[in-house]
Amino acid sequence: MKFSGILKTLLSLVAVSAVSALADAVSVDALANGGAVTRDNQLSEIRDVLRGGRGGYVNFGFNYMPLVSQTPLKSEFGEHDGFAFRHYLAGFGAGEISKNNHLGMVFWLERSGWDGEDFFLIPQYNDFSVVRSVATWGAVYTQSSLDLTFAAGMQHQNAEYVGRLYPDENDKWLYSWAHLRWGHTSIQGSFHRTDWQSLRISIDLESRAVYGGRRSGPLTYLPNFEMALYNGMDYADDSVRVSWEQNLFAQQLYGEVTFDFPNKEFHSAALKFYPDPSRMIGFEATCLRRNERGGSSDLLWGGAIDLLFIRLAYNSSYEYERLFRAKGTFIAEIKFDMATIDGFLFARGAPKSAPLESVTFNPKEKSSAFPKDDGKIQLNKSPETKPLNASGIRYEKAGTSSKGGK
């Protein structure tokens, strides 16, 4: 993308943000549940990244909403000006310790909540703020010839500051998780002390070239299913969410639909278009049911544009579910999201790597392998190269001093 293009995108981003001053407020409930939502999202992302079980992954960024009116807080007292925020950092790296045996680490960190001021490090901590961080870490072992991955670790939820509107929340250090993947199937469990929290079973049948699958053909059109079971604990019934992701065209166009059980209700649907299957750039349209029971207003229609380092969304289900159900405003995200396997790059969840610049070298045609004269240093010696003649250099005999000095 050209520099002027980025500048235009940024200016238009600020302009649309200014127009969207009448955004809907985020609720106290959504902020109070933020910790559980973040923990689940982090495990879901780890599931995506561990599909290969080796290589590396880096993801960091933050949501950017410049105006206080974009994500105000709705409390029983009224509407508070301020900012919902989400700063995150994630990394995975694995190395081959012996043939086909890979050992790695995952580390996911997110600091999110709501505050009266926007900030990067030090919040205002006012009476109505909530600032929370969630860290997930663990060790990963992959046996690549068996296509088997096992990972396990801990999750910590740190209630850094809880304002007067929210239920009491303590730091919770004893969440643990485990993940087992064999081929296209994975199972992931999350626990708190001895209680199970969630269980996620994924069957990713789609053939993905980044993990050694097909580049095209019918196998790339196989569906991906996910079933997530959540423990309602003492507050609610256990629930199940089933997702179906389907490649619709050349791994560039995907459909996604999610249902909730036992209510047998539609939860969300999305249509996503990636100009390149590496998913570094994407366009998506989403529809989400908000459980408002308000007829057609129950459905939230939205979309997003993902441009490698910037994501711009309006009412998109991804933002709604990760940023405390924020809606009715344009939400920007500055981000860096890159996964790698064997030196190839792709965004999280992508089936193919990005097309890299490559030079074809044909040893039979040596003369055409390198440009003949492009003004740069030629390492290969061709017959046309003139020899250097040092005719203008005078040599002088060194004096007797060279013999001395001892």
**Candidate segments 114-122, 276-284, 294-302, 342-350, binder of another protein by CB under 8 A:** 114-122
Q: Least Å distance between CB 244 and another protein? A: 35
- Residue number, 86 or 241, with CB nearest to another protein: 86
> What values do phi and psi take at 13, rounded to 5?
-60, -45
Tell which one of 60, 119, 141, 314 touches another protein (CB under 8 A).
Answer: 119
| Residue 27 within binding range of another protein, rule CB under 8 A | no
Among 8, 12, 15, 79, binds another protein (CB under 8 A): 79
Q: What is the DSSP string of 287-301?
A: EEE-S---GGGGEEE
CB of 348: closest distance to another protein in angstroms? 19
**By CB under 8 A, is residue 35 in contact with another protein?**
no
Both structure tokens of 242: 């089933």
- Please state the φ and ψ torsions of residue 291, each to the nearest 5 degrees: 60, 35
188: nearest Cα among 373, 337, 47: 47
Q: Which of 34, 35, 53, 82 binds another protein (CB under 8 A)?
A: 82
Residues 365-404 that bind another protein (CB under 8 A): 376
Among 24, 44, 58, 81, binds another protein (CB under 8 A): 81
The CA radius of gyration of the chain, in Å to the nearest whole number, is 27
CA angle in degrees (0–180, nearest 5) for 144-145-151: 35
The DSSP secondary-structure symbol of 105 reads E
User: Should residue 183 be labelled a site residue for another protein when binding is judged by CB under 8 A?
Assistant: no
* HSE toward the beta carbon, residue 371, CA cutoff 13 A: 6
Give, as ranges, the residues between 291 and 310 that touch another protein (CB under 8 A): 309-310
Query: Beta partners for 172?
Result: 157
User: Least distance to another protein from the beta carbon of 361, Å?
Assistant: 13
From the list 128, 191, 318, 324, which residue makes contact with another protein (rule: CB under 8 A)?
Answer: 128
Which CB sits closer to another protein, 129 or 149? 129
Footprint of another protein on 38-67 (CB under 8 A): 64, 66
Among 159, 177, 155, residue whose Cα is nearest residue 167: 159
Residues binding another protein: number (CB under 8 A): 33
Quickly list H helices, 202-260.
Answer: none
Q: Per CB under 8 A, does 20 bind another protein? A: no
CB of 95 to another protein, least distance (A): 25
Q: Tell me which amino acid residue 126 is.
A: N
The residues in 320-339 that bind another protein, with binding defined as CB under 8 A, are 334, 336
Q: Does 124 bind another protein (CB under 8 A)?
A: yes
What lies within 8 Å, CB to CB, of 135 at 6+ separation is: 107, 108, 109, 155, 156, 158
Window contacting another protein (CB under 8 A); options: 111-119, 182-190, 242-250, 284-292: 111-119
Tokens of residue 384, six digits: 């046309």
Q: Nearest distance from residue 45's CB to another protein, in Å?
A: 22
Q: How near is the Cβ of 112 to another protein at its closest, in Å? A: 15
Query: Across the strands, what pairs with 156?
Result: 135
- What number of residues does the chain have? 406
| DSSP three-state, residue 12 | helix
d(CA 116, CA 121) in angstroms, rounded, equals: 14
Give 167 or 262: the residue with its C-beta nearer to another protein: 167
54 burial via Cβ count (<10 Å: 0-12, 13-18, 19+): buried
**Which residues of the shown chain bind another protein in the complex (CB under 8 A)?**
1, 3, 6, 10, 14, 64, 66, 68, 72-73, 76-82, 116-120, 124, 126-128, 309-310, 334, 336, 357, 359, 376
